[in-house]
Chain A
Amino acid sequence: MAGVKRDGGGAGAERLAREVVRAAASAGEAEAEAVAASPFLYARVRARVTEERRRREEGDGWIGLLAVALRAAPAAGLAAVVALALFLSSGAGELAPVGGLGYDAALLVEREGDIEQVVFADARTPSPDDVLSTIIGEGEGSR
């Protein structure tokens, strides 16, 4: 026995190990027979097949959507590039300068006057005579 302990096994332990494996492998045979004889086993297998099939189809649905998205991405990118090229080649990208300045400069230039000055810069300013004649004209009309 001491020899068995010392070498951690030896021939006896080796034989015993094989015996243990075989005995353990046959430990569930009675349960296996009972499982195989179960009258509801096939129904449970069918239910599982149905569930697994549904799960796979759902997975396929997501995968299909992903595949469509992946296929659509290059096409969308190509369309964007074409649209940009057309936009640039039409000259629409070059905005007309305002007041002799470039577009950005016109936007960023510091205004010296008030808003009214900007809005009515090119408009004709009514004179006091114009205002008076308008008032008189309205008064005569009402009579």
Chain B
Amino acid sequence: MDEAADITPARAPVSASERADAELAAHARDGDEAAFEELFRRHRRRVALIASRFFRERHQIEEVVQESFTKAFLALGDFTNCRDASFAAWLARISFNACYDELRRQKRRPEGALEDVTEEEAAHLRERARGASDAEGRAVSRDLAAKLLARLGPEDRFVLVMLDAEGLSVAEIAGLLGWTASKVKVRAHRARAHLRRVLGKFL
């Protein structure tokens, strides 16, 4: 959640590190290789974590990281510290968009059938849905959650992760994707209904 604050447009006075980011970006834009490498070193972990919100496989995460930094480098001329909240926020926006593009690409070329949810996992889901006391201590496993979420379409999955995991507002998601706020709300409503239907099959 605290990481999500990076893309909040309104901002306090520019911190030293952000100012340094802006200076590094200016130098990198003018061809300073070391400046871009320093920006990469500072922000690679954040970009990789953004990618991991949507992808579990290492090659997928790395693909998003590479794509994000490549786009950022080639668009450094568009970056101005005044217009955007910070370099980190600007880069986060690029990264989220790269994730969205990658999710949509995956839809066009599926990587095979989804793994089935085992009976044991389904039983655990039922316990969690009931709020059974013996299941309180055991959260839904990440593997199971990933399998369930993989059944959603790219738009549904993207919106739900942005809302529930990244903690972004409807307006922020709309700004990221270039959608209207109404479209985000409708998509979120449908995505939640879709996920409930998916869960309903196991409850």
Binding site for B on A (CB under 8 A): 1, 4-5, 8-9, 12-29, 31-36, 38, 41-42, 44-45, 48-49, 52-53, 56
A-B contacts, 14 listed (Cβ < 8 Å) = A1-B130, A9-B199, A14-B192, A15-B131, A20-B149, A22-B164, A24-B146, A27-B142, A28-B52, A31-B58, A35-B65, A41-B66, A45-B66, A45-B69
Nearest residue (CB) in A for B41 is A42
The verdict on B125 contacting chain A, using a C-beta distance below 8 Å, is yes
* Least CB distance, B23 to chain A, in whole angstroms: 20
**A116, B141: Cα distance in complex, Å:** 106
Contact A53 B195 (CB under 8 A): no
Nearest residue (CB) in B for A42 is B40
**A45, B33: Cα distance in complex, Å:** 12
Most buried by A among B62, B126, B131: B62
Is chain A's interface secondary structure helix, strand, loop, or mixed overall?
A: helix
Contact B128 A16 (CB under 8 A): yes
A16 with B199, Cβ < 8 A, contacts A31-B58, A38-B62, A45-B40 known:
yes
CB neighbors of A among B44-58 (8 A): 44-45, 47-49, 51-58
Most buried by B among A5, A13, A28: A28
**A49, B164: Cα distance in complex, Å:** 33
Nearest residue (CB) in A for B126 is A1
CB contacts (< 8 Å) of A32 on chain B: these are: 45, 48-49, 51-52, 61
CB neighbors of A among B34-92 (8 A): 37, 40-41, 44-45, 47-49, 51-58, 61-62, 65-67, 69-70, 73-74
The verdict on B143 contacting chain A, using a C-beta distance below 8 Å, is yes
CB contacts (< 8 Å) of A38 on chain B: these are: 62
**A92, B37: Cα distance in complex, Å:** 72
* Least CB distance, A78 to chain B, in whole angstroms: 37
Nearest residue (CB) in A for B196 is A9
Nearest residue (CB) in A for B199 is A13
